[in-house]
Structure 1
Amino acid sequence: MVKIYKVLFSVFDIFLIHIGIIAAFYLKFGTTIPLYNWSSYMKVLPWLSLSALIIFYMFDLYSNWRRKSIYNLIYTIVLSIGTLSLFTMALTFWYRGFSFPRSVIVISAVIQVVLFVGIRSLVWWIAKQKYGRRKVLIIDESLESGLAFAQKFIQHASGWFIIQNLLPVSQWKQMAHLIHEVDVVLLSPSLNREQRAEILSYCSRYGKEVLIVPELFELFILQAEPQQVDDMLVLSVQPPGLTAAQLFLKRAFDIVVSAVLIVLLSPIMLVLFILVPLTSKGPAIFKQERIGRNGKEYMIYKFRSMVHNAEQKTGPTLATDDDPRITPLGKFIRATRLDEIPQLFNVLKGDMSLVGPRPERAFFINQFKENLPDYTYRMSVKPGITGLAQVMAKYSTTVEDKLRFDLMYVRNYSLALDIKILFQTLRVVFQWELSSGVKRRTENMEVLLRYFNLEVASGDESLSTKKDRIL
């Protein structure tokens, strides 16, 4: 059913693209369209159709947009159509199709945006009416850990979920009636296998949707190959990492694209190289030791966004919201990811890749490994300037949640996935809220307790007592 949905949408998208172009021709020329202009369009029509499908796929327009933000949908459509228009201009130049008027391309882009936004928004709205406002029950080991998952639903695009209740897993059998009062049940990864299997079976029996936050090791079996040993079914799970052919292809892609980007972005780099030291004391380029593939150390390059020697007194510290160490210019270049541009030279050197898990310092890696033993698996590939976690999550997303995306990337690597992530990086560049620092835990707790109409009390015992009132 999903495949049929995607095929129908892609055919309809091609129809809309060409409706927009034809309408632009009529707006430009009226009913008497010059033949040499029209023939130029017909010459590139097949390639334009194919390009549209590829660009829309790379911007993830054919994924399931149910439960996502309408703002992100509209933003993605505008960016996709804009990219397609630029590609159309390049395509007509390549085919010497100068008789394909640039004004027609611009007008058609406006018409296409209106058509796509109108129709996709209508489909999104219908889906929201049918599948929105789902009542959610969160089952976790404790109420405190359940509050962290509640925050995810609160911060999600509004209108899709309503948090109905939180339930400690130890009480689920006594309070199983709560499951009948909701539409969706979320199961925490802290639940053991027996608990999850039992609750999943119960929910399925009564037609309830179950959202499962996977344990990290479970991500390894997503692409496992079914095999047979005698009359026994087994799943073959290969160790994380890329094949020799994949490594070669990825490296060649990195060299070509990073070299082109360095040339294209050189004016921006020159401006920032001058502005950074002018606006705050210290060098323009910030160098810091990071850990790369297989634990190899290297020096990463970034445009400095904090005051010089920001960690001299505090030691290694993650950036937070309204971090006083971040300079005014630094806030802008961090939000737009311009501070990351010098890492293209790290890619050329071979220390990094364009796409991969974000590199981290040894200080934090040692801390993360204490609670997340699977953290080292993300270092089976080169770190990247961007990655799946960067386009799917936020800067303030927890280490464990980012690790899930990183392991998904390692297990599902392909060159097509790299290209798709690069396209989607364009989508998140101007979503500045995604680059905000880590929120302090007390601030998060205040938001959650306020949502449940509770007051923040001093002292852990009093806070715990108030959290018990949620049920």
Structure 2
Amino acid sequence: MSQGEKFTKTKKIIIVLMDVFLYHLSILLSFYVRYKSDIPMYNYNAYENSIFYILTLFVLLNLLFGVYVFYNKSIADFLYFTIIIQLIMTISIMALTFFGRWFTFPRSVLLISLIFSTIILFLWRVIVYKFYERFSGSKQVMVVGTEKDIKNAIFNIGNAKSKRHIVKYAVVSNYYTNVKKYLDEVDIVYLASGLSEKEKENIYNLLVREKKKLFLTTSFDNLLLVNPNIMNIEDESIIEISNFEISSEDDLIKRLMDILFSIVLIMVTSPFMLITSLLVKLTSEGPVLYKQVRITKDGKEFNVLKFRSMSATAEKDSGPVLASSNDARVTTVGKHIRSLRIDELPQLFNVLKGDMSVVGPRPERPFFVDQFQKENPHYYLRHNVRAGITGYAQVYGKYASDFNSKLNFDLLYIKKYSLLLDVKIMLQTIKILFDKVSSKGLDEEEQEKSKEIPNNIKYLV
């Protein structure tokens, strides 16, 4: 491990400790505001007795939400995360003090601390983020590959929330020669296309020797190498490639968690589902629930349930069509319930039945599955797990991504699967409910126009 990596981890530990201190301080300030200098000890003792559990949960939630990862964040993200985490903390402390029988923890202090902690932590995180932007600096990137592939890479880097990475060179031919010639001027080389084995090996050797970072795409070949098992047979070490599947033990635990979460979420969201049912029924003709055939695990068909957000005859003349931004088929109520993802809530019953999981690849219609399968022979691999209400692609990608990008996210999810990853995705799904970019439909023409290589990037052939 390099000194730079150690220092980065040290800085993050300091930031976490400062977070804990500020959260603790906000609760102390709340006690003072509520009671002034005459704080009843039996009230404060309830906090003292539960402080270890409270602060542990606080750190865990921040880690799961990715608060301490800065390269892909904006200030708005920190605002969303801080508000959401502090709301969850407030509710969790109420439950914790009830089950721990620390009944004297004042609810008024909790409500005051919700305000104080949100403001104090957000301001602190803005300061940290500004220091990160200023002192970590930007990284110069050289994108290498075919013209089509480098356009996608440049578009994604250029439209990232953080400007941590800046593309300086675009190499479309004579790959090794151009990489070697301009390597001193960049920090990272991003191989956006599959090059010949010989050329890749030459570039790899060059980057290792010069201690430069390498970025690779999530192509099928690269995804195969995720989460390998290292075996030793006699005097040889062997890399065993893991399959795109979840073990039977993990699948059983995932199913049990799905049943538990779906029951709890149905109970919690039932008032919202009742109100939505009334609004849909009163504002447009047709059924409240919309059934549509989708594909789930092992390629099985099932009827997905959704609150109807379009007119009942939306696809009468057009046939199956992917949703897009400002879709004229969407009703007034439908527009709002889709932006908040309320239309997806009836799928909790699909989860309870076993057709779906809370987390997994989003289910597609047979018509589109057949199309995608023809274009990408690896598309079937996403059906090795149950379809999900939310997923890796929904949290870490964008709703406007094309099917190949979504497939890469789905395959990465299957490769990296763990129960903790499911919990992390479920928590981060809360944030994207307020992120309008994630709720947008497909605007392929608009994206293609934006993928022209900017003039400030040097084009190397």
- Give the TM-score normalised by structure 1: 0.89
TM superposition shift of 1:232 = 2.1
- What secondary structure is seen at the aligned counterpart in 1 of 2:177? coil
Could you tell me how far apart the structure 2 residues matched to 1:137 and 1:167 are? 7
Conservation of the 8 A alpha-carbon contact between 1:320 and 1:440: no
Bigger relative CO (Cα 8 Å, ≥ 6 apart): 2
CA contact (8 A) 1:67 1:128 kept: no
Farther off after superposition, 163-172 or 21-30: 163-172
Q: Which residue of 2 aligns with 1:321?
A: 325
How big is the shift at 1:251?
Answer: 1.4
1:86 match:
91
Match status 1:444 vs 2:447: yes
1:57 to 41, 60, 63: 63
- Using the TM superposition, name which of 156-165 and 417-426 deviates more: 156-165
2:400 to 396, 404, 414: 396
1:129 matches 2:129: no
Superposition deviation, residue 261 in structure 1: 1.1
Give the whole-Å Cα distance in 2 for the aligned partners of 1:419 and 1:232.
Answer: 38
SS in 2 for 1:228: strand
Cross-structure match for 2:3: none
Residue 273 of structure 2: aligned partner: 269
Aligned to 2:192: 188
* Conserved 8 A contact 1:67-1:132: no
- Which of residues 53, 69, 78 in structure 2 aligns to 1:73? 78
- Counting aligned pairs with the same residue, the percent is 34
**Structure 2 Cα separation of the partners of residues 294 and 445 of structure 1:** 34
Structure 1 residue aligned with 2:160, among 149, 153, 156?
156
Of 52, 76, 82, 1:46 maps to 52
| SS class of match (1:185) | strand
Instruction: Tell me, in whole angstroms, the C-alpha distance in 2 between the residues paired with 1:101 and 1:54.
Output: 24
1:390, distance to aligned residue in structure 2 (A): 1.1
Q: Structure 1 CA distance, aligned partners of 2:214 and 2:246?
A: 33
Amino acid at match of 1:89: M
Q: Give the SS at the match of 1:373.
A: coil
Secondary structure of the residue aligned to 2:120 is helix
Q: Deviations over 1:373-416 (max 9, x none)?
A: 22211111111101111111111112222222211221222222
Match of 1:462 in 2: none
* Cα displacement (A) at 1:344: 0.4
Structure 1: gaps spanning 5 or more residues: 454-466
* Matches of 2:413 and 2:179, distance apart in 1: 38
> 1:68 aligns to what SS in structure 2?
coil
Contact 1:290 1:298 in 2 (8 A): yes
TM-aligned CA distance change 1:70 to 1:197, over 3 Å:
farther
Tell me how far apart the structure 1 counterparts of residues 61 and 116 of structure 2 sit (CA, whole Å).
18
- 1:97-143, CA deviations, whole angstroms, 9 ceiling, x for partnerless residues? 343222211222222223322332222222212333333322112x2
Q: Report the CA distance shift for 1:468/1:392 in structure 2 as closer, same or farther (over 3 A).
A: closer
Matched, 1:104 2:104: no
* Aligned equivalents of 1:7, 1:162: Cα separation in 2: 28
Summarize the alignment of residues 226-375 of structure 1 with structure 2, pairs less than 5 Å apart.
226-375=230-379
SS in 2 for 1:363: helix
Q: Is the 8 A contact 1:132 1:159 kept in 2?
A: no
1: CA distance between counterparts of 2:458 and 2:125? 43
Show the counterpart of 2:143. 138
Alignment pair present for 1:115 and 2:120: yes
Q: For residue 57 of structure 1, what is the amino acid of its counterpart?
A: L
Contact 1:189–1:214, Cα closer than 8 Å, also in 2: no
What CA distance in whole angstroms lies between the structure 1 residues aligned with 2:50 and 2:348?
34
Q: Deviations over 1:133-184 (max 9, x none)?
A: 333322112x233222211122112532333232203455157434333333
Change (3 A) 1:110 1:412: same
Pair 1:161–1:175, CA change in 2 (3 A) = closer
In 2 relative to 1, CA 397–132 (structure 1 residues): closer, same or farther, beyond 3 Å? farther
Number of aligned residue pairs: 455
1:414 aligns with 2:452: no
Give the AA of the match of 2:114: A
CA distance in 2, matches of 1:133, 1:50: 33
Q: C-alpha distance in 2, partners of 1:176/1:232? A: 33
| Stretch of structure 1 that moved more, 283-292 or 85-94 | 85-94
User: Where do 5+ consecutive residues of structure 2 fail to align?
Assistant: 1-5
Correspondence for 2:24 among 7, 18, 25:
18
The answer (yes or no) to whether the contact 1:396–1:436 under 8 Å persists in 2 is: yes
Give, in whole Å, the separation in 1 of the partners of 2:77 and 2:110. Answer: 24
Tell me if structure 1 keeps the 8 A contact 2:432–2:438: yes
1:168 aligned partner, one-letter code: V
- Contact 2:175–2:199 (Cα < 8 Å) also in 1: no
CA 1:104–1:132: 2 relative to 1, 3 Å:
same
Whole-angstrom distance in 2 between the partners of 1:175 and 1:229? 38
Q: 2: distance between equivalents of 1:95 and 1:349?
A: 34
Mapped to 2, the partners of 1:175 and 1:450 lie a distance apart of 18
Q: CA separation in 1, counterparts of 2:227 and 2:402? A: 24
Structure 1 residues 300, 159: closer, same or farther in 2, change over 3 A?
Answer: same
TM-score, normalised with respect to structure 2: 0.91
Cα separation, partners in 2 of 1:330 and 1:170, compared to 1, 3 Å: farther
Name the SS for the 1:65 alignment partner.
coil
Paired AA for residue 62 in structure 2? F
Query: Could you tell me how far apart the structure 1 residues matched to 2:352 and 2:106 are?
Result: 39
Aligned AA (1:198) = N
Q: 1:400 to 1:174 in 2, by over 3 A?
A: same
Superposed displacement of residue 32, structure 1: 2.2
CA contact (8 A) 2:357 2:389 kept: yes
Cα distance change, pair 134–239 in 1 and its aligned pair in 2 (3 A): closer
